[in-house]
Chain A
Amino acid sequence: EPEVTQTPSHQVTQMGQEVILRCVPISNHLYFYWYRQILGQKVEFLVSFYNNEISEKSEIFDDQFSVERPDGSNFTLKIRSTKLEDSAMYFCASSATSGGADTQYFGPGTRLTVL
């Protein structure tokens, strides 16, 4: 069964450093998403991406964040200058469509620890 994959599974970084989290969405999906979950809190939407551009973003997704689809398979989230409060699980998701049968399938996540 096709699945979303993410690398690395765990990333430890120093405050102020840049990190890139990588995702490979399900191959025939067209919509890609990043969510995060701070320990003990709810899953929060960050951004959605379609046709090589951001289609929706939350107030969390500020200028420190960017997304990119550098090739036909990868989808990345970059955090330019990490803060302690960026420590969280980051989930990539993808869906075949938007609206209607728009189920989003989640990857296993990357645990980001900012020291």
Chain B
Amino acid sequence: QKEVEQNSGPLSVPEGAIASLNCTYSDRVSQSFFWYRQYSGKSPELIMSIYSNGDKEDGRFTAQLNKASQYVSLLIRDSQPSDSATYLCAVRTGFQKLVFGTGTRLLVSP
């Protein structure tokens, strides 16, 4: 069974701090990795995609991928209360299917 694991949280950080979200995956041949944000009752909204080992930065967000360790992370700098949501790690395994983790709930306090 190809799994994606995330700590369910909640992860609580104060406003302005760095939030660090982690994800591990079991399928070593996975090629594409995604972070989605999901507000309660809403659909997943893409934050970042990453395909190669290393870091990828987009504004306040940095995704990090380490294929050898089967680990992908998301850093959110200068966290804002509006960043409070569940962050879903998704891995493309096989042809097209995305396998999602259970998500990490992030709470940013003012």
Contacts and interface: CB of A to CB of B under 8 A. Distances in A.
Contacts of A105: 46
A103 B100 contact: no
Contacts of A55: 95-96
Given A103-B34, A109-B43, A45 B99 contact: yes
B97 A48 contact: yes
B32 A106 contact: no
A107 B42 CA distance: 9
Interface in B73-104: 88, 90, 92, 94-103
Given A48-B95, A101-B49, 17 more contacts: A31-B96, A33-B96, A35-B98, A41-B102, A42-B102, A98-B95, A99-B32, A102-B92, A103-B46, A104-B98, A105-B46, A106-B36, A106-B43, A106-B44, A106-B45, A107-B43, A108-B42
